[in-house]
Structure 1
Amino acid sequence: MTRELKLRIVSGIVLALFALVVTWVGGHVFALFSVAIGALIFSEWSTMTRLVLRGRRGVVLGWATLALSAVFMFALGILAALAVVFVGVIAAALLYRARHASPWLPAGILYSGLSMISLAAVRGSGEAGLLATVFLFAVVWSTDIMAFFFGRAIGGPKLAPRISPGKTWSGAIGGTVSGVAAGAAVQILAGGQGVLRILAIALVLSAAGQAGDLFESWVKRRSGVKDSGRIIPGHGGVMDRADALVVAAALALAIVLVQAALSGDLAALDGQRASIGAILLGL
């Protein structure tokens, strides 16, 4: 085992334990943790894509949108925070059309804003949110870890050679199967109903996580960088470590919002922060 791989494993274990402790505590602690992740993602995105070179207005708009959406998330709920993010994205698109900002700006605001809000929303404030977040971790982490080992052990055709040459179809399939199994295990241990439904959700979230990983690799390749940052030893930046998780979390939130909208309970979500996790797992 190489020194770099050892560092990566140790660093990954420390990060996982920290994330689990913060998840267990929940409440404002986890919400602030989510805000920090969103802020670090936008910082790394801004550096990678060199937003400041196209004008400081865009960077100021991005930070203002994140700050205001965080305040709205604490004071008014996730729907208000999402509205702020989408307004910020529209404003960034208009600023780009006026040639005062980079084309990467709207995507950066959307990516970092949804990352922050989705993680906080899935965790919520109750036991169901705790279980839903553990479920999300289990699916994404199992997919990521086992995709690496399956890819190394089996090899074979590349998944997306122009974007991420190291990823293989064997790794993607093995990771997906592992992620679905881990998600089902959490659901069964939690005593939730509808295992077939959970298998489908875990499958979709596992695929979304891998798509998020590929998306970040594409952004790095377009930006000409190897890592999104240097804050995490052996891993690079926050985006390098959280790329799959934040996309899966955003899709999990989207699933809940669609289901709540179809049942007519969308407005109640902000008043019942524990309900998002309950709806996701069917508790």
Structure 2
Amino acid sequence: MTAVDPQQLRTFVTVARLGSFSDAARELGYTQSAVSQQIAALEADLGTALLVRRPVGPTAAGQRLLEHAAPLLVRLAAARADVARLAGAPSARLVLGATPLAVGAELGRALGEVRREYPGAEVEVRILGHDALPAQVATGDLDLALVDGLAAPSDPLPLPEVGPLTTVAVDERPLAVALPTGHPLAGRTGLALADLSAARWLDAPDLAPGAARLRAATGVDGFRPAARYCGTDLHGLLALIATGHGLALLPEPAGAGVGAGADGVAYVPVAAPRLVHRTELLHGSLPEGPAALLARLLAG
């Protein structure tokens, strides 16, 4: 067996994702016959069928190849982007990705300094989910990213391995359980997460740790979500908490007092286990320019 052709692999992934040879041909800019030939060549090389044709979908072997294909293609794109950054001229454009809770006043001040140093810089900030950011930085879709999450004090965030990225801690804040101000626990000075495993929780994957992460952190089963919130708007999540639809684990706002909270939400500090809300900066090679300056300002 020869080495797998990356283009054939990319074509296979596209066909499997779209469930159609013709749709894949349109997306990739090929003829349908060219797509069929690439799939046939890949199957011949691997010695097994990868797709069933009616309806189009992966075989068991094809499903296993898909599990390997996504990270392989990301690493290939990351290598190309990394070399291009090193070889390219400095760019006056800055594209920053961030998870919703990673954006704060410090970022605003740092961007202001970048604009003063590079008054002609084009600045774009994209608010995205946790899972998308590392790969987009590695492949050059983003210059750098701010990612937040749950961690033990001074421990790095558990991020996917997508290439040689630099990771720098920029902030650690206390965690709190967000609950309605009228909740019986709203006046507590601290809460153990394990004691809340049977409570109603909100599943908000882009804003707060999910049930699996809470179970792993506490070693306790439970934390079953009462409702799912799909979005990056924190105000919408807080409205659901305030009206009793569930709890969420969030960074404690500056100046929040026990039992007090804006918009009907109280924040009670997490007493156990020892966890923090951590924000990290991710970037690859950065030629001198707006992105490199922003990275230095945030890391400093």
Structure 1 or 2, whichever has the larger Rg, is 2
Q: Shorter-chain TM-score: which interval?
A: under 0.3
Which has a greater percent of strand?
2
> Which structure's residues are more often helix, by fraction?
1
Instruction: Normalising by structure 1, report the TM-score.
Output: 0.24
- The two structures have a TM-score, normalised by structure 2, of 0.23
